[in-house]
Amino acid sequence: MENFPHYFTLPKSRAIHQIYILILIALTISSCQKDIVDSPIPPSILEIEAPQNLSSIPTGSTIILKAKTNSPDNLRYEWKVNNVWLSNNMPQISLTTSKKGEYNIKLYVSNSAGTDSISLKYYSIETPKEGCSKWISQITEFRPAPGQYTNKSPGNPASSQTIVGKKGMVSLGGYGGYIVFNFDHTVINGNGDDFVVHGNAFKGNSEAGIVAVAFDANGNGRPDPEEWYDLAGSAHSAPGTNRNYTITYFKPSQTETSEDIQWSDNTGAEGLLKATNFHKQCYYPLFLAEGVPDKLEYSGTLLPPTAVQNPSTGNWVVGDLEWGYADNYSEKYPLVVNDDPDTRNSNKFDISNAVDKNGKSISLPAIDFVKVYTAVNQQAGWLGETSAEVCGAISLRAQ
């Protein structure tokens, strides 16, 4: 009996025993509650409440962003906009989109138990002003590759200006040669085609140019290298297409008259851009902003060759691609858009076809710059190198 606990040996103490247990339970509950206060659960952000259509906020407007969390008590809020911290410890912020471009919002919510974070991206877009022009308003850059028209019409700087405000013609030279232009408004990515680019193609004479687009995401008024995306066309996933192509052209021994231009590329191939019998000037561009360096590099997507010679006639056919390239004939090429006769003989482009270097689709709300570059590296016999021509462009989003 001595070994039994004290309260079993004293029947009178049963009530006291029950009181002990109740006190013990009460102490346990109280201790648990104390633990909750000392160690809260980490916060969890449910969402940032934001306006419905974040992809088209007009520049200059103000929006309210509001954090929604699972446990709103005793939280610290830290907001970052385009990598700049806001000095604000509030669950909501008011932001004015003073400049157009991309806005990257990051929200951190913390308490003593931890931190949660969430990201949100939206775009501020300048809507076209009434009376803006459908035509190209400015040539941002003209950097043709060597070619039979380079340094003379239609392949000189004066030629590049002929497509401002109207139709004209500029030749881009061999693979990689390009022109960059813009309109007097941001071209919004609406339903279907958003702009057209005119060429001088006809059936069997398609000198494909890849069209790339840039949305001025950082709002600095310039197309930066990371802002460019190709618009994919029918040959972008074809066997033989190289999405990471770089060609280097070498300055000829003299620049007074034409001679073959040597090139090499990042696949290890090399060859000659041949001087033809018809064009006697130097083919290596002599007017670029960088002067006349010993070599010139051009990069982008390379499409497979399209030129075929008819063995019996000796004539060359520079084949048509199905869709999605400038200076390329297709059934849609002669058609007009929106009953506007100025859109005849053009290729039609939809910003929704933008892809990154891996071919992954990129969603762009709008674009500020268009680049057209020659997409193939080929000699079509006596026709010479294949070089895309640009004969104008029209925005389908002008007011």
- Positions touching Ca ion (CB under 5 A) are 189, 194, 200, 207, 216, 218, 220, 222, 224, 327, 350-352, 389
Give one DSSP letter per residue of 341-388, joined into a string: GGGSSEEEE-GGGEE-TTS-B---SEESEEEEEE----B-GGG-B---
Q: Nearest approach, Cβ of 202 to Ca ion (angstroms)?
A: 9
CB-hemisphere CA count at 13 Å for 268?
Answer: 0
- Distance, in Å, from the CA atom of 48 to the CA atom of 285, rounded to the nearest integer, reads 52
Tell me the C-alpha to C-alpha distance, in Å, between residue 92 and each of 89, 117, 143, 184, 279. 9, 14, 47, 36, 66
- Distance, in Å, from the CA atom of 61 to the CA atom of 63, rounded to the nearest integer, reads 7
Using DSSP's 3-state secondary structure scheme, residue 41 falls into: coil
Nearest to Ca ion of 77, 181 (CB atom): 181
> And the tokens for 211?
């069209």
Nearest to Ca ion of 1, 84 (CB atom): 84
Q: Nearest approach, Cβ of 351 to Ca ion (angstroms)?
A: 5
Nearest to Ca ion of 300, 384 (CB atom): 384
Nearest to Ca ion of 218, 262 (CB atom): 218
- Distance, in Å, from the CA atom of 22 to the CA atom of 363, rounded to the nearest integer, reads 64
- Distance, in Å, from the CA atom of 19 to the CA atom of 27, rounded to the nearest integer, reads 12
Q: Nearest approach, Cβ of 199 to Ca ion (angstroms)?
A: 6
Q: Nearest approach, Cβ of 322 to Ca ion (angstroms)?
A: 17
Nearest to Ca ion of 45, 302 (CB atom): 302
Nearest to Ca ion of 34, 121 (CB atom): 121
Nearest to Ca ion of 222, 279 (CB atom): 222
Nearest to Ca ion of 116, 216 (CB atom): 216
Q: Nearest approach, Cβ of 327 to Ca ion (angstroms)?
A: 5
Cα torsion 371, 387, 286, 254: sign: positive
- Distance, in Å, from the CA atom of 262 to the CA atom of 359, rounded to the nearest integer, reads 30
> And the tokens for 141?
């850059």
Q: Nearest approach, Cβ of 111 to Ca ion (angstroms)?
A: 39
Q: Nearest approach, Cβ of 129 to Ca ion (angstroms)?
A: 20
Q: Nearest approach, Cβ of 212 to Ca ion (angstroms)?
A: 14
Phi-psi region of 396 (alpha: psi -120 to 50; beta: other; left: phi over 0): alpha
Nearest to Ca ion of 173, 285 (CB atom): 173
- Distance, in Å, from the CA atom of 158 to the CA atom of 147, rounded to the nearest integer, reads 16
Using DSSP's 3-state secondary structure scheme, residue 31 falls into: helix
Q: Nearest approach, Cβ of 369 to Ca ion (angstroms)?
A: 8
Q: Which residues contact 195 (CB under 8 A, 6 or more apart)?
A: 183, 187, 349, 370, 393, 394, 395, 396, 397
- Distance, in Å, from the CA atom of 232 to the CA atom of 253, rounded to the nearest integer, reads 38
